[in-house]
């Protein structure tokens, strides 16, 4: 039995990059390590989970040359059988006109930039386009759900709920064995979370697309819109709802002495100064339950490997207990 998948986006989200095997369709694992003598955890994605059942029926991307290159690479690999039926389309409407009967997608993986989704405005409404074109098709949406206004996201969510669409968002870390083990430790020891501390240090040397460094393009995807949501989601998962007025942040901007980057491989002068990304962002907040949260995002590392750390501090009658998870190091 086959399982039909429609991929939306032929870029790094769905097909990976030099930064590692984080792409949604890769058969390679994402390594997670719990730093308290617990086991290594590996998570595989579509190609490994579905195996021979996977059938990619379409790839939607307005850049047809990029789509063709992505498919060419897959067809030349060991997972070629999963892609032999795949056709490239420029729009969702093109895919809807061509896919029917046994080629109807059961799952659409939305790996387009956040400015194209999470809204009910025309051209920014991929989720609504997909559920209208393919009723009953489940959605897996890359984080963040949008870089647009929050009220538009709520309207999309309400419509998806009305259509009874099964939706998952790419906050995979909360479902990992490492994180679930932390939850178990807290529950079994009757701990109360006092604080969360998330830290992401980006390896920027191979991040060369100008749009990733421009606040107006994909929300500055390479900074908070792409890499801060996963630890931010974990923060809320452990800390609860955030008191939004309590959020406070400081940055190191591009024009300050500590913000000079020595390994840039692109011309940042093409981006207006006011649109350039901060080099470091440090934020703190209060949770509704009284705990404190912190998040630091840094653009600093050379090479290809980022560093990510997430720490939960909790209290019980016999004293402080620390749960520490480091993933992808």
DSSP assignments along 47-94, one per residue = HHHHGGGEEEEEEE-S-HHHHHHHHHHHHTSTTGGGTTT-EEESSHHH
Average pLDDT over residues 140-168: 92
The predicted structure's pLDDT at residue 106: 97
196 and 311 Cβ atoms separated by less than 8 Å: yes
267's CB contacts (< 8 A; 6+ apart) are none
| Confidence band for 24, pLDDT divided at 50, 70 and 90 | low
142 and 126 Cβ atoms separated by less than 8 Å: no
Q: What domains are defined for the chain?
A: 3-169 (3.40.50.720), 173-327 (3.30.360.10)
The predicted structure's pLDDT at residue 217: 67
The predicted structure's pLDDT at residue 149: 87
The predicted structure's pLDDT at residue 16: 75
Residue 277 DSSP class: P
| Confidence band for 14, pLDDT divided at 50, 70 and 90 | confident
The predicted structure's pLDDT at residue 42: 23
Q: How far is CA 16 from CA 21, 199, 213, 323, in A?
A: 6, 22, 19, 30
- Report whether pLDDT(120) > 90: yes
Is the peptide bond between 144 and the residue preceding it cis, with omega within 30 degrees of 0? yes
For residue range 273-282, what is the model confidence (pLDDT) as tens digits?
Answer: 999 999 999 9
- Report whether pLDDT(239) > 90: yes
């Amino acid at each position: 039995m086959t399982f039909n998948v429609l991929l939306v986006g032929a870029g790094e989200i769905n097909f990976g990059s030099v930064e590692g095997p984080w792409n949604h369709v890769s058969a390679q694992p994402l390594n997670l390590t719990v730093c308290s003598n617990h086991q290594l955890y590996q998570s595989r994605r579509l190609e490994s989970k579905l195996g021979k059942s996977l059938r990619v029926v379409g790839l939607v991307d307005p850049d047809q040359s990029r789509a063709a290159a992505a498919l060419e690479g897959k067809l030349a690999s060991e997972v070629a059988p999963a892609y032999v039926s795949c056709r490239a389309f420029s729009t969702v409407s093109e895919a809807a006109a061509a896919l029917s009967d046994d080629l109807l997608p059961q799952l659409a993986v939305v790996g387009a930039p956040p400015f194209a989704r999470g809204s009910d405005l025309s051209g920014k409404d991929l989720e609504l386009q997909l559920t209208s074109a393919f009723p009953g098709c489940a959605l897996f949406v890359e984080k963040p759900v949008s870089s647009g206004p929050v009220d538009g996201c709520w309207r999309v969510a309400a419509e998806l709920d009305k259509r009874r669409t099964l939706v998952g968002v790419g906050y995979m870390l909360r479902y990992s064995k490492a994180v679930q083990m932390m939850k178990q430790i807290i529950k079994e020891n009757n701990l109360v979370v006092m604080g969360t501390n998330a830290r992401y240090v980006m390896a920027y040397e191979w991040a060369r697309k100008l749009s990733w460094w421009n606040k107006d393009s994909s929300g500055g995807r390479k900074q908070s819109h792409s890499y801060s949501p996963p630890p931010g989601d974990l923060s809320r998962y452990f800390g609860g709802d955030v008191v939004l007025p309590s959020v406070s942040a400081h940055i190191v901007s591009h024009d300050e002495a500590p913000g000079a980057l020595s390994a840039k491989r692109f011309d940042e002068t093409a981006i207006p100064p006011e649109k350039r990304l901060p080099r470091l962002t440090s934020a703190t907040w209060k949770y509704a339950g009284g705990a404190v949260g912190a998040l630091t995002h840094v653009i600093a590392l050379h090479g290809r490997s980022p560093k990510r750390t997430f720490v939960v501090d909790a209290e019980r009658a016999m004293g402080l207990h620390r749960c520490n998870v480091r993933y992808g190091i």
